[in-house]
Structure 1
Amino acid sequence: MKLRILLGIGLLAGQLAGCSNHTLYLVRHAEKASQPASDPPLTAEGEVRAQVLADTLLEKNIKHIYSTNTTRTRATAVPLAEKLGLTIAPYGTDTLWEVAKHLRKLHGGNALIVGHSNTLLPLLDQLPVTHRKKTIPDSDYDNLFVVTVRKRFLRPPLIRLQEGTFGEIAE
Structure 2
Amino acid sequence: MRILVAIVLVAFMAVSCSNENEKKVVYMVRHAEKDAFPKNDPPLTTDGVIRSVDLASWFKDISIDTVFSTDYVRMRETAKPLIEQQGLDLSIYQAMDFEGFANQLKNMKADTILVIGHSNTILEQIEALGFDRPQEKINEKEYDKIFELRLGSDEMFTHRYGSKYKE
TM-score by length of 1: 0.84
Q: Unmatched 5+ residue regions in structure 2?
A: none
Q: Unmatched 5+ residue regions in structure 1?
A: 151-157
Aligned partner of 1:81 in structure 2 is: 83
1:119, 1:73 → 2: CA distance?
13
What's the secondary structure of 1:145's corresponding residue?
Answer: strand
How much does 1:59 deviate? 2.3
2:151, 2:15 → 1: CA distance?
15
How much does 1:25 deviate? 0.7
What's the secondary structure of 1:62's corresponding residue?
Answer: coil
Aligned partner of 1:165 in structure 2 is: 160
Moved over 3 A (4+): 3-18
CA gap 1:62/1:89 in 2 versus in 1, 3 angstroms = same
Check conservation: 1:22, 1:106, Cα contact below 8 A. no
Aligned partner of 2:26 in structure 1 is: 24
How much does 1:92 deviate? 0.7
2:157, 2:107 → 1: CA distance?
19
TM-score by length of 2: 0.86
How much does 1:119 deviate? 0.7
What's the secondary structure of 1:38's corresponding residue?
Answer: coil
How much does 1:74 deviate? 1.1
**Which letter does structure 2 place at the counterpart of 1:99?**
F
Give the structure with the larger strand fraction: 1
Question: Number of residues paired by the alignment?
Answer: 162
